[in-house]
A = this chain, B = another copy of it.
């Protein structure tokens, strides 16, 4: 029954019932944090053998280099080969860094802002009104780095097949101040969308007024499926090479949700010209990445197939949690016309769209009942969801039974917030 269509007296009764149910759930005094996409302890346990993968007397690389000493700005050759397979590029198109892809992305963006790029007209910062396209709903850390670096953000709606490409093409064609796009192309955060081949091709081929246009391709969930194997995503570096725009993409990935979160290894893939440009600007600011943890990862996985097998084990652990979220949403909210939600086959989030004007109230109500959700608005630039509608559920960290409790609370909050809204509008 679509609750948006019932009459006022029935609505009042249903709202009172929902308020009672919410009050009841509040009294249970639960404390569950669903704000961030964090792996659960049993996922982290999968990688514990990695801790002993490199032992005393065992730090010499394949070419005889002692990885305990200084040197190698772009990662050990073994790790570059591993990430070349991971990121689908050549070894010399890959820089393997420290523990954070976000940090590598921030540095790449900061280099463009403060120093400029080889194919551009100087630092972005010295040009008027430089803008970044941001797919929405999207990832709060992307928005925060753009804002901190003084880039105006233009939201672009994410469709079922990728960014609204008509709009992207229109925005980049004539305005040379539109310098880039930042996005999660596979199992997008939070909607779980994977870009269709046609979207990748259009991103590669589109004419941009800015000569130094860059796509920050945050492929954070490249192998993070829920059991059906990784979704196919067209290789954007190849697509750009074919289109003659090979300097356009900067591709990022890490093992943060594969081995240890913030204890993994991150890497960037890009054209050789972009790698050379990064080298010029990175040099002098570092003694190079921590190499032992790179070696530990390569020894642990062996190769990409080893990592793919490892990701199957993650899928076994997290799939039931996503199934529980979907089942709860269906059970409590199905057919009521108050919310729609994504059914992702990979990644770390479920996106929920509630009735416009209700998202912030859902977060407030849930928080008061002990379920911490990502701040409403966080999925949009400047923290402003224009419809106050989109929420994100991060179910990987809590145990299954907690997810069931948390979802009962979440759904009660959605129902109550929406019914209050309907009542006040009636």
| A residues in contact (CB < 8 Å) with B | 36, 38-39, 41, 44-45, 47-49, 51-52, 54-59, 66-71, 98-100, 102-103, 106-107, 110, 114, 141, 144-145, 147-148, 256, 260-263, 281, 283-293
Contact of A38 among B44, B59, B70, B262 (CB under 8 A): B70
CB nearest to A49 among chain B residues: B56
- The smallest beta-carbon distance between A198 and chain B, in angstroms, is 33
Task: Provide the bound-state CA to CA distance between A56 and B70, in Å.
Answer: 28
- The smallest beta-carbon distance between A127 and chain B, in angstroms, is 15
Chain B residues within 8 Å of A286, by CB? 100, 102-103, 106
Task: Provide the bound-state CA to CA distance between A145 and B283, in Å.
Answer: 9
Chain B residues within 8 Å of A262, by CB? 69-71, 287-291
Chain B residues within 8 Å of A38, by CB? 69-70
Contact B285 A102 (CB under 8 A): yes
Q: A48-B57, A52-B55, A54-B51 are in contact. Are A102 and B290 (CB under 8 A)?
A: no
A selection of 28 A-B contacts at a CB cut-off of 8 Å is: A36-B70, A38-B69, A41-B68, A44-B66, A44-B69, A47-B68, A67-B263, A69-B261, A69-B262, A70-B256, A70-B262, A98-B99, A98-B290, A99-B287, A100-B286, A100-B288, A102-B286, A102-B287, A103-B286, A110-B285, A114-B114, A141-B284, A144-B284, A148-B281, A148-B285, A261-B287, A263-B291, A293-B293
Chain B residues within 8 Å of A288, by CB? 100, 262
- The smallest beta-carbon distance between A38 and chain B, in angstroms, is 5
CB nearest to A40 among chain B residues: B69
Task: Provide the bound-state CA to CA distance between A229 and B281, in Å.
Answer: 38
Chain B residues within 8 Å of A39, by CB? 69
Contact A145 B263 (CB under 8 A): no
Chain B residues within 8 Å of A67, by CB? 263
Contact A69 B102 (CB under 8 A): no
- The smallest beta-carbon distance between A50 and chain B, in angstroms, is 9
- The smallest beta-carbon distance between A273 and chain B, in angstroms, is 20
- Beyond the given pairs A98-B99, A99-B289, A148-B284, 14 more chain A to chain B contacts, judged by CB atoms under 8 angstroms and listed by A's residue number, are A38-B70, A41-B66, A48-B56, A51-B58, A106-B284, A106-B286, A110-B110, A110-B114, A144-B284, A145-B285, A262-B288, A262-B290, A263-B291, A290-B293
- The smallest beta-carbon distance between A238 and chain B, in angstroms, is 29
Chain B residues within 8 Å of A148, by CB? 281, 284-285
- The smallest beta-carbon distance between A126 and chain B, in angstroms, is 10
Q: Which 6 A-B pairs have the closest CB atoms?
A: A48-B56, A144-B284, A106-B285, A99-B290, A44-B68, A68-B260
Task: Provide the bound-state CA to CA distance between A190 and B89, in Å.
Answer: 42
Contact A287 B51 (CB under 8 A): no
- The smallest beta-carbon distance between A75 and chain B, in angstroms, is 12
Contact of A103 among B69, B141, B261, B285 (CB under 8 A): B285
Contact A290 B287 (CB under 8 A): no
CB nearest to A290 among chain B residues: B99
Contact of A68 among B59, B263, B285, B293 (CB under 8 A): B263
CB nearest to A254 among chain B residues: B287
Chain B residues within 8 Å of A36, by CB? 70
Task: Provide the bound-state CA to CA distance between A162 and B397, in Å.
Answer: 53
Chain B residues within 8 Å of A71, by CB? 262
- The smallest beta-carbon distance between A78 and chain B, in angstroms, is 15
Task: Provide the bound-state CA to CA distance between A68 and B49, in Å.
Answer: 13
Task: Provide the bound-state CA to CA distance between A70 and B99, in Å.
Answer: 11
